[in-house]
Structure 1
Amino acid sequence: MRLRSRLFAPLFIALTISAWIALWMWDAGPYARYLRHASWAELPVVGAICRAVPGASLTLAALLHSAAWLLMIAAMMLPTAFPLFDTFRRMTIARDNRHALMALLIVGYATAWALFGFVAHGFDAALHRLADQSPLMLADGWLISAAIVALAGLYQFSSLKHRCLDKCRSPLMFITEHWRGRSVRRESFLLGMSHGVFCVGCCWALMLLMFAVGTGSVGWMLALGAIMAAEKNFRWGGAIGKPLGVALIAWSAWIVVQNARIG
């Protein structure tokens, strides 16, 4: 039992590193466009299927974007939720079904982020479709990027951000609030999903930055993942929000100034 407890953190770290390696290999390979906005007809193998099978394009787009998003979440967000998983492991260590409960906790957490990804990708796709139909919007697309960066900056000062962050920074209190130990499988899933919802509430604005700079940028993912992990897992993490907000608002202003000069 003690050996398994000691192995949990190394295995968790290995899982996270594996997710980052898989993400890097995907981004460096011939199918890197799956992480970004792709024209499916241009992709090898998939393009032929899309042209031959009616409706295949939408199905493959949904599946591949979902796989890419979940891989990004595994790489970026699992490290931020490690205190929750470790605390839950210690609280359920005497149960015979502890592995199943841990799996349900992780699935619940991933479900919350998958739902957010569905909404974010839908909104992003709608913006791109609108831009394709509007030459003026396409020419001034930098305004959307500037607005997203400014929104992310302003959100760092919001009370909602800090309430959600407090929930994420107190895993033991969060578990005791949501765990009754009666219907353990259902409670494990709902616990993970509830924590995921607060995690989304804390980090959604920062995650939207990936849509402003490109969802396939592994460098940006690393930077954002490090910031969110520091916010949640270190004592000084709560102090990051306001300086980060100022930096993002300044960045947004810089985007506007630079493009105004060009225009």
Structure 2
Amino acid sequence: MSVTAGATPARTSPAGAARHRRVFIPVLAALIALAWVALWAWARSPYGRYLEHDDWTASGPAAFLCRVVPAGDVVVPMALYAAAWILMTAAMMLPTTLPLFNTFDRLTAHRPDHGRLLMLLGLGYMTVWGAFGLLAHALHSAVLTLLASVPALAWHGWLIGTATIALAGAFQFSRLKYRCLEKCRTPLSFVIGHWRGERQARHAFALGAHHGLFCVGCCWALMLLMFALGTGSLGWMLLLAAVMAIEKNVRWGQRLSTPLGVALLSWAVILVATHA
């Protein structure tokens, strides 16, 4: 199936449009809401400390698993962190991908395996963010090890948070940010350019992963802010999710990048001034 042939189903019939409004949008909205509710419940449970990376193996079920699972001290924290990161990504990033899923839903609505293709698209997207989360976890662990081994740096731990905020602010002005953001803001041309309709399952997963790479390229610095602000802070999650959704989905959203960068850099300067 050619690209041109695959693009025509995007103009759906009135019945298809009604099905889209009645089924697809509520299901995606329910998944997003479920992810936020799960995060809220986890943060307020006795195991909420796992979201903040505190005492992963000191007590509770995680400590027991660390003792019984081979290499548990490494495997269990990584698995818990991966689960927390994927849940956080689903809550924060799925709203920003609504145009992508919307376009792909219309494009494949006539296929009998339409639902499976949508799931594979989402799986490919989340796989990329999961891999980024594991890299972020490794970086975070390395920073904690450095702080533990260098007491002088531990006394000035605020520098790491400030540097993260400054990095996120500076990245808002980078060419990579705008190139990736442009891909995220034009899902129709992205899908038409990458969807071939052959070997549908593999290509649907690859399409989601490819779009996820651009999404990571656009938002990685803002997501790293969660390490400076607290990965268990639902308030900051909501604020960052709203910012990223506006950047990608709203007509004037691209203009938000510059003032956001200025605000983050100014915040970093204020932190330096107050601690110096």
Q: TM-score category by the smaller chain?
A: over 0.9
Deviation of the 1:53 alpha carbon: 5.5
Q: How high is the sequence identity, in percent, across the aligned residues? A: 51
> What is the Cα-based RMSD across aligned positions, in Å?
1.3
Q: Which residue of 2 aligns with 1:250?
A: 266
* 2: CA distance, partners of 1:90 / 1:43: 49
Is the Cα–Cα contact under 8 Å of residues 65 and 76 in structure 2 kept in the other structure? no
* 2: CA distance, partners of 1:128 / 1:27: 22
Question: Out of 74, 89, 93, which is 2:90 matched to?
Answer: 74
Amino acid at match of 1:85: F
List structure 1 segments (4+ residues) > 4 angstroms apart after TM superposition.
51-54
> Is 1:4 aligned to residue 19 of structure 2?
yes
Q: Deviations over 1:80-120 (max 9, x none)?
A: 00110010000000001111111110010001101111111
Question: Out of 146, 156, 160, which is 2:176 matched to?
Answer: 160
| Count of residue pairs brought into register by the alignment | 260
Q: Which residue of 2 aligns with 1:193?
A: 209
Is the Cα–Cα contact under 8 Å of residues 85 and 133 in structure 2 kept in the other structure? yes
Q: Deviations over 1:43-93 (max 9, x none)?
A: 323224434656323221111111000000110000000110010000000
Unmatched segments (≥5 aa) in structure 1: none
Amino acid at match of 1:101: L
Question: Structure 1 residues 55-64 or 17-26, which shifts more?
Answer: 55-64
* 1: CA distance, partners of 2:126 / 2:143: 25
Q: Which residue of 2 aligns with 1:205?
A: 221
Q: Which residue of 1 aligns with 2:243?
A: 227
Q: Which residue of 1 aligns with 2:135?
A: 119
1:35-114 matches, cutoff 5 A: 35-51=51-67, 55-114=71-130
SS of residue paired to 2:53: coil
Q: Deviations over 1:113-150 (max 9, x none)?
A: 01111111111110110100110110111111111111
Amino acid at match of 1:210: M
> Is 1:238 aligned to residue 254 of structure 2?
yes
Amino acid at match of 2:232: G
Q: Which residue of 2 aligns with 1:24?
A: 40
Q: TM-score, normalised by structure 1?
A: 0.95
Is the Cα–Cα contact under 8 Å of residues 78 and 134 in structure 2 kept in the other structure? no
Amino acid at match of 1:5: H
> Is 1:169 aligned to residue 206 of structure 2?
no
Unmatched segments (≥5 aa) in structure 2: 1-14
Q: Deviations over 1:221-251 (max 9, x none)?
A: 1110000001001001001000000000000
Q: TM-score, normalised by structure 2?
A: 0.91
* 1: CA distance, partners of 2:203 / 2:69: 42
